[in-house]
Amino acid sequence: AQKVTQAQTEISVVEKEDVTLDCVYETRDTTYYLFWYKQPPSGELVFLIRRNSFDEQNEISGRYSWNFQKSTSSFNFTITASQVVDSAVYFCALSGDKIIFGKGTRLHILP
């Protein structure tokens, strides 16, 4: 069975601090994709990244970075120098024949 665990339900940090959102997954598939999505208050999902199971390279995109470690089945997301606009719910997801979402982490960036 596939499973995505986001242990952090809610996080609050002060603006400009760095914050890491954790994601641990379970799957028996050898080929799969991992995703991160941002959901602002409007509700529309914003795609952030897709990572193939064969590609363990870390990725950096501006203030965002992702650390994929197959050995620990983790795909963590770090926001550097957080901003108030980063406040949202962030979902980690795993794709086999369908996408399974974690429960999400609600991130509050305090001014």
Partner 1 sequence: GAVVSQHPSWVICKSGTSVKIECRSLDFQATTMFWYRQFPKQSLMLMATSNEGSKATYEQGVEKDKFLINHASLTLSTLTVTSAHPEDSSFYICSAISRDRGYEQYFGPGTRLTVT
Taking the least distance from each CB to partner 1, the nearer of 37 and 66 is 37
Closest separation in Å from C-beta 64 to partner 1: 18
C-alpha neighbours within 13 Å on the C-beta side of residue 44: 2
What mask of x and - would describe binding to partner 1 in positions 73 to 102, judged by CB under 8 A?
Answer: ------------------x---x--xxxxx
Exposed/middle/buried for 30, CB within 10 Å: 0-12, 13-18, 19+? exposed
Strand partners, 93: 35, 101
**Using the rule CB under 8 A, is 24 a contact of partner 1?**
no
**Using the rule CB under 8 A, is 104 a contact of partner 1?**
yes
